[in-house]
Amino acid sequence: KEHGLHILINYASNQDAAEKTKNQIEEAGGTAELIPFKVQNYSEVTDVISKWIGLNPDSKIEVLVNNAGITKDNLLVFMESEDFSDVIDINLKGVYNTTKAVINHMVRNRYGRIINIASYAGVRGVPGQTNYSSSKGGTIAFTRSLAQEVAKRKITVNAIAPGFIESDMTKDLDTDQLKKLVPMNRFGKPEEVSGTASFLASESAAYITGEVININGGL
């Protein structure tokens, strides 16, 4: 609502959660619709987004937030090949697939905001997460490279690297122990990440590109 944008909510399988998100947006005075596809499937992503653009010729996709992600943690000596591949396919190849599906559209419109959700793990590396850290480190490199390619078209590409944030991905962690590592002595809130994403999507951030913004309480 803040930016006057109609929101396209992607999901892979959890339609109930997607519907809940849609309802929350509408209750706040915004508009939204669901577009299901699996980000790791290039042809599926391309087909769904191309179809939407074709059916909405008077609309423009102005902002893309790449935030799909999974973890399959293990020490490398115990990590199976599919656990490495699955994380890379969703977390990194998914960024390529969705961005590739909209980038020509943004270039033609000479405007765009691409916001990639990376991680502290991609900045520093985390033991037991060679797959996840690789996917997020790759996302950061992808961000910095693409930013240089499309800057002249008024398209910005930035990444956000959260630390420990209260979410489904951290609900099973030992919060009391881990928050001792954080100078602010707490986990972050989802709103503290989404607020930064909202800023990067705004006109106020038009001269910021290729950046990685760490949100980690000083970790």
- Please identify every residue annotated as catalytic: 132
Cβ contacts of 113 within 8 Å, gap of 6 or more: 62, 63, 64, 155, 156, 200, 201, 205
110, 156 contact by CB (below 8 A): no
DSSP 64-123: EEE-------B-GGG--HHHHHHHHIIIIIHHHHHHHHHHHHHHHHT-EEEEEE--HHHH
Give 7's strand partners: 32
